[in-house]
Amino acid sequence: MEEKISGAIVDSFFTKLKECLSLDVAVVGAGPSGLIAAHDLALAGRKVAVFERKLAPGGGIWGGGMLFNELVFRKNALEIASDFNIRTTDAGDGCYTADAVEVAAALIFGAVHAGAHVFNSVSVEDIVFKDGKVCGVVINWTPITRLEMHVDPLVITAGAVLDGTGHPSEIARKAADKAGVTLDTPTGKVMGERPMWVESGEASTVENTKMICPGLYVSGMAANNVSGGFRMGPIFGGMFLSGRKVAGLIAEGLDAR
């Protein structure tokens, strides 16, 4: 039995990994925007995998505001919440709350059930960049990167890469700093996040969700950081709408190839 259990895990894992060596879409970061994008794209029949550095996918959802594990939404995000069977409570003035643990669980379950594979404890440490286009990601186990072990990575090729890494926009930075790409921002570079302004931040997150250089898209707080948007704290509608928007843009981009 001992051998059976280990063998079953190894066989299933490698079947899954092998299937994902070449993807339609590689999503970096399992925060709300990345998970929603992965869900929508997988539901539309695209081959999608999400690479998440941490053991638990969900990004900034779990902690709510200052560890009070409730999130706020406005009306414009309720349709997406309902697609994931997330229950919300009317808090007045156009605001709704949802249990952060329910939101994280629902988005993870939704993405995986739609057909996306989530690889947790896997860090994206670099991009594949060929002929002026981002066409894949370079992955390694998070403990290897954290311990700074000198171990070479593996490569996943993809028709599109989504930077859903949140505040640091790590993948966009790699494109700008390592590949020397001019990004589709007013300065051509990563502009950096601005301070708190809820209304502006929610709106600009969605506006700034786009392809920022050939093959590379940004969503959520990464979109905000790249184009210099304001932050908005624990209100998550912008993240939901950004995830849905970027899935549509990526699908259009893949179809146009």
- Both structure tokens of 165: 């890494």
Residue linked to tokens 């990167």: 145
Instruction: Look at the chain and count its residues.
Output: 257
- Both structure tokens of 65: 């505001």
Name the residue nearer to ligand 48H (CB basis): 8 or 154: 154
Name the residue nearer to ligand 48H (CB basis): 61 or 216: 61
Name the residue nearer to ligand 48H (CB basis): 33 or 204: 33
Name the residue nearer to ligand 48H (CB basis): 153 or 253: 153
197/232 Cα distance (integer angstroms): 6
Residue-by-residue DSSP string for 171-230:
HHHHHHHTS-PPPSSTTSS----EEE-HHHHHHHHHHT-EEEETTEEE-HHHHHHHHTPE
Name the residue nearer to ligand 48H (CB basis): 72 or 183: 72
Q: How far is the CB of 11 from ligand 48H (least distance, A)?
A: 25
Query: With the CA atoms of 121, 125, 129 and 132 taken in that order, what torsion angle do they form, in degrees rounded to the nearest 10?
Result: 110
Residue-by-residue DSSP string for 16-29:
HHHHTSEEEEEEE-
Residues in touch with ligand 48H (CB under 6 A): 28-34, 51-54, 59-61, 123-124, 164-166, 170, 220-222, 231-233, 236, 239
Q: How far is the CB of 69 from ligand 48H (least distance, A)?
A: 13
Name the residue nearer to ligand 48H (CB basis): 28 or 172: 28
224/229 Cα distance (integer angstroms): 5
Instruction: Tell me, rounded to whole angstroms, the distance of Cα 84 from its chain centroid.
Output: 17
